[in-house]
Structure 1
């Protein structure tokens, strides 16, 4: 086998390997290509994910509103509690003053008897 025949045989073998590889690639691509049903399923799943994300965003907004309302109500309730405690402390002071006054009045009456 001379040099020209060797180069020709090598070129034919390489070309055959290329054609065989290309055909195998095409065949694999053809067999693994997604069907229209698969694409439809993927579209449906994408839409469900999108809807779920929108629902999550709405829920987060609602949660923020509820937290804000509860925080406001808590602040109001704390203010009312503080006012009630202040009134109770004032009432206790008045009761003590009245008790002292009554005890002093009774002591004077007993001393005057």
Structure 2
């Protein structure tokens, strides 16, 4: 079983995006500290949420395309524990997607 994270091929991209988001959050703190107009702060909050959603969607796609796909391939190849592993990966992905939709 491959233990490489599904996002491995895009790790650099995710780190770049997350660092940018970190900078945006620091900017939000600065805006509040400087008593910037509420609507301007809310606009930036929306941008941060959108950026995080984009990272989340990418991670879900990578998980489905790597982790879930590998588990399903193992089940199709007759791997003894493959079916249970595939079912667990699908349930895990479904739960993660549900959490994302609720946030």
TM-score by length of 2: 0.38
Higher RCO, Cα 8 Å, sep 6+: 2
Larger radius of gyration: 1
> Per residue, is there more helix in 1 or in 2?
1
TM-score by length of 1: 0.35
